[in-house]
Amino acid sequence: MTAEAGLPDTLRDLPTWTPDARELADMELVLAGVYRPLTGFLGSFDTAMVIAGGRLADGTPWPVPVTLAVPKELTDHERIVLQDPEGVPLAVLQVVERWQDPTTNAWQLAGPLEALRAPAHGPFHRLRRRPDEVEPGAGPLLAVATGDPLHRKQLGQLRQVAEGLGARVLVLPLLSGAHDESLVRAVLGVRKELPEGTQIIPVPLPARGDAPDRDILLHAHVAAAYGATHLLAEREVEGTAIPVAVPEPWAYDADVEVWRPVARIEPDHVQAELTPERLGELLDAGEPVPDWFTPPAVAAELALARPPKRSRGITVLFTGLSGSGKSTVARGLADALVERGGRTVTLLDGDVVRRLLSAGLTFSRADRDANVRRIGFVAAEITRHGGAAICAPIAPYAATRAEVRRMVSAAGDFVLVHVATPLEECERRDRKGLYAKARAGLIPEFTGISDPYEAPDDADLTLDTSRLTPDDAVARVLDLLVEGGWVRPE
Ligand code: ADP
């Protein structure tokens, strides 16, 4: 592995590609040796065998597909440079097979990876040690792989199982791309509640979601690569690389105010669990997370990761035909929020968008799409910083709106308002004379006339301004925001 800055001459002419977050994570784990015996991305046969039976073509157990999707243009190269999202080259892929995913038809490249430099992106990367950088210790090592903070129950179970095995402990916080720093801080924050000498090594391993058994198999594999002898998990799964230790059920004993195995608690002293839904409600309302449930350091991280709705970032996206009333209602909403106080408000509409954000863009389909994406990007940043972004582009295409929703939702909350004023009414208003021009063929691809408007089926609110006064329309949106908890009632 080389650490110098430049790309070697021999690689300078190779095409580059930035894999998505999951693929980058897989690549990091392959290169770190965590995914041994894998040396790169899988081909079609291995992938089919893994999906069908959890084994590579040569019979080696392997739980999940590790694949790389690329655009078709990249499939006629022998080698490509894979880079991180900032464009830093990380590895070279030696292409041995190009194939199409049978369900999505997306092109895939398979072959071994050669590291150019260690990945250095992402918070806490100094904790992300490779197995060969970790001191091997003596005796049993109990690993727990978790995408959630360790609360008092998990801490108690972990200590009990570790004690029973006489094992040291390794915690592998699983990074998924959302609130990773928070998870790592929450685990570091309970260090003193963990057995002495516990190691904490974050691993980029988003849950595969649909296959929990395979997740356990993969976690066992990763844990074994780090030298673990046991994996703490909620159930045993056939064929794990190391044995699974299943903790006995624990509960909170309200009588003596400690967590302990249920078997040792008088039945009427067992306190009901705090469900994830209830926990979410407490955080949304800004109420304290009870100390019996989780240590204060974890509670503080939970509140940072999911702030009370009243101070959580939010984007309200108005979508609808030209002249439907988006700007009018958006402006009214912005004013109303500023008048109420308690929130910083940014209106992304009209002049500020045309003169700055989208200067130079035309009304072509591609440019209008770019406009919506730029607005979405800025709105997502405003949302990440706890502000309220109010946007009013036409946003006629469902796919682009979905993209904005994704960007914003990763940072906070998203509310979609469909201003569904009928076309006839918009055209009758024709405030800017645009419909007349469009009808005359002077504006090509005009939404509603010569270009489609894809009405949303995921709107949180639909307004028809031909049946509402502007004030009433604003009031409807405000009501929605108050009911949802984002804005305080008057
Ligand atoms: P858009 O931003 O969707 O292109 P605008 O808000 O710029 O639409 O224009 C909508 C026009 O419709 C304005 O002239 C506005 O005064 C008028 N209008 C009439 N009734 C309403 C209503 N209930 N809500 C919003 N606008 C209305």
The CATH number of residue 319's host domain is 3.40.50.300
Write the CA distances from 281 to 164, 342, 435, integer angstroms.
Answer: 36, 21, 47
Element (H, E) at 94: strand 89-94
pLDDT at 216: 95
| Residues contacting residue 104 through CB under 8 Å, at least 6 positions apart | none
- Would residue 5 count as lying in a domain? no
Question: Considering only CA atoms, which residue is closest to atom 5 of ligand 1?
Answer: 325
Give which of 432, 455, 428 is closest to 443, Cα–Cα. Answer: 432
Give which of 176, 161, 390, 398 is closest to 261, Cα–Cα. Answer: 161
Q: How far apart, in whole angstroms, are the C-alpha atoms of residue 463 and residue 32?
A: 53
Q: Is 465 in the pocket of ligand 1 (CB under 6 A)?
A: yes
User: Which CATH number do you get for residue 73?
Assistant: 3.10.400.10
Structural domains of the chain, count: 3
Chain-centre distance for alpha carbon 17:
21
For 179-192, the pLDDT digits (tens) are: 899 999 999 999 99
Q: What is the mean pLDDT of residues 253-268?
A: 96
- Phi and psi dihedrals of 443, rounded to 5? -115, 110
Evaluate if residue 368 carries a pLDDT over 60.
Answer: yes
Give which of 410, 401, 376, 386 is closest to 21, Cα–Cα. Answer: 410
Please count the helices (runs of H) and the strands (runs of E) in the chain: 14, 21
Q: Which of 331, 371, 429 to mutate to test the pocket of ligand 1 (most atoms within 8 A of CB)?
A: 429
Confidence class for position 355, pLDDT limits 50, 70, 90: confident
Chain-centre distance for alpha carbon 141:
31
Do 259 and 159 belong together in one domain? yes
pLDDT at 2: 45
Question: Considering only CA atoms, which residue is closest to atom 13 of ligand 1?
Answer: 325
Confidence class for position 207, pLDDT limits 50, 70, 90: confident
Evaluate if residue 3 carries a pLDDT over 60.
Answer: no
Do 425 and 374 belong together in one domain? yes
Q: Is 129 in the pocket of ligand 1 (CB under 6 A)?
A: no
Evaluate if residue 227 carries a pLDDT over 60.
Answer: yes
* Terminal Cα distance for the chain, rounded: 62
Under DSSP, is residue 157 helix (H, G, I), strand (E, B) or coil?
Answer: helix
User: Which CATH number do you get for residue 171?
Assistant: 3.40.50.620
Do 228 and 321 belong together in one domain? no
For 411-445, the pLDDT digits (tens) are: 999 999 999 999 999 999 998 899 999 999 998 88
Do 283 and 410 belong together in one domain? no
Evaluate if residue 111 carries a pLDDT over 60.
Answer: yes
Residue with tokens 């997740």: 215
Tell which phi-psi region holds residue 111, choosing left (phi > 0), alpha (psi between -120 and 50) or beta: left
The residues facing 145 across adjacent strands are: 172
Question: Considering only CA atoms, which residue is closest to atom 17 of ligand 1?
Answer: 325
CB 311 within 8 A of CB 386: yes
pLDDT at 6: 64
Do 78 and 174 belong together in one domain? no
| Residues contacting residue 302 through CB under 8 Å, at least 6 positions apart | 149, 182, 186, 279, 283, 289, 294
Q: Is 470 in the pocket of ligand 1 (CB under 6 A)?
A: yes
pLDDT at 443: 87
Q: Is 431 in the pocket of ligand 1 (CB under 6 A)?
A: yes
Confidence class for position 178, pLDDT limits 50, 70, 90: confident
Question: Considering only CA atoms, which residue is closest to atom 25 of ligand 1?
Answer: 325
Do 270 and 127 belong together in one domain? yes
In terms of Cβ atoms closer than 10 Å to its own Cβ (0-12, 13-18, 19+), residue 18 is: middle
pLDDT at 136: 85
- Would residue 452 count as lying in a domain? yes
For 444-480, the pLDDT digits (tens) are: 889 999 999 999 999 999 999 999 999 999 999 999 9
Evaluate if residue 322 carries a pLDDT over 60.
Answer: yes
Question: Considering only CA atoms, which residue is closest to atom 27 of ligand 1?
Answer: 325
Evaluate if residue 391 carries a pLDDT over 70.
Answer: yes
Evaluate if residue 120 carries a pLDDT over 60.
Answer: yes
From 280, 305, 330, the end of a domain falls on: 305
pLDDT at 223: 98
Give percent above pLDDT 70 in the chain: 98
pLDDT at 1: 43
387 Cα–ligand 1 center, Å:
25
- Would residue 242 count as lying in a domain? yes
Do 334 and 469 belong together in one domain? yes
| Beta strand 107-115 pairing with 97-100 | antiparallel
- Average pLDDT, whole number, for the chain? 94
Angle at 112 between CA 111 and CA 114, to 5 degrees: 140
pLDDT at 5: 55
From 249, 278, 305, the end of a domain falls on: 305
Q: How far apart, in whole angstroms, are the C-alpha atoms of residue 16 and residue 389?
A: 35
Tell which phi-psi region holds residue 319, choosing left (phi > 0), alpha (psi between -120 and 50) or beta: beta
373 Cα–ligand 1 center, Å:
23
Q: What 8-state DSSP symbol labels residue 306? A: S
Q: What is the mean pLDDT of residues 44-73?
A: 96
32 Cα–ligand 1 center, Å:
58
pLDDT at 121: 66
Evaluate if residue 344 carries a pLDDT over 70.
Answer: yes
CB 93 within 8 A of CB 80: yes
Give percent above pLDDT 90 in the chain: 85
Is the four-CA dihedral 321, 322, 325, 326 of positive or negative sign? positive
What is the domain range of residue 139? 123-305
Q: How far apart, in whole angstroms, are the C-alpha atoms of residue 333 and residue 481?
A: 10
- Would residue 8 count as lying in a domain? no
From 262, 284, 305, the end of a domain falls on: 305
Residue 110: both structure tokens together: 């398979």
Q: How far apart, in whole angstroms, are the C-alpha atoms of residue 91 and residue 123?
A: 20
Do 354 and 403 belong together in one domain? yes
Do 314 and 266 belong together in one domain? no
Do 46 and 62 belong together in one domain? yes
Q: What is the mean pLDDT of residues 94-119?
A: 94
Question: Considering only CA atoms, which residue is closest to atom 10 of ligand 1?
Answer: 325
470 Cα–ligand 1 center, Å:
8
Q: How far apart, in whole angstroms, are the C-alpha atoms of residue 98 and residue 119?
A: 25
